[in-house]
Amino acid sequence: MNDLKRRTFDYAVKVAKLIISLLPSAINKAYCNQLIRSSSSIGANYRAAQRAKSTADFINKLKIVEEEADETVYFLELLLEFNKAEAETIIGLINEGTEILRIIVASLKTARNNLNSSA
């Protein structure tokens, strides 16, 4: 398994473990429902990007990864506001999500440059 494929899988697992550990509340339930979808979608869509049929298809699929990673960081930031006792774990996940997002943005720039230079 390539490094980013494994990393996005591990990230979704860590987010899910955080969600399991949070105290039940209406806010946690609402944010966690979104968070479980977006965090797992990062890896799922990254895997789909690896099977892209063309550079344009790869870029489109990677843009979905970018959106899901950004959304995941956003919901983690919201959860942090209401779960200060879990701050260390949540901040670690925010940092990891931000790093994954940076990698995806850099990959998108490279793919776009390759697409433009071959056109």
pLDDT at 114: 85
Whether residue 98 is contained in a domain is answered as: yes
12 domain residue, yes or no: yes
Residue 41 lies in a domain: yes
Residue 119 located in a structural domain? no
Indicate whether 87 belongs to any domain.
Answer: yes
Residue 48 carries which side chain, given as an amino acid letter? Answer: A
List the domain range (segments joined by +) for residue 39: 3-114
How many structural domains comprise the chain? 1
pTM for the complete prediction? 0.93
Residue 93 token pair: 């996940």
Whichever domain contains 46, its CATH number is 1.20.1440.60
Residue 119 burial (10 A CB sphere; 0-12, 13-18, 19+):
exposed
What would the pLDDT profile of 82-107 be if each residue is shown by its tens digit? 999 999 999 999 999 999 999 999 99
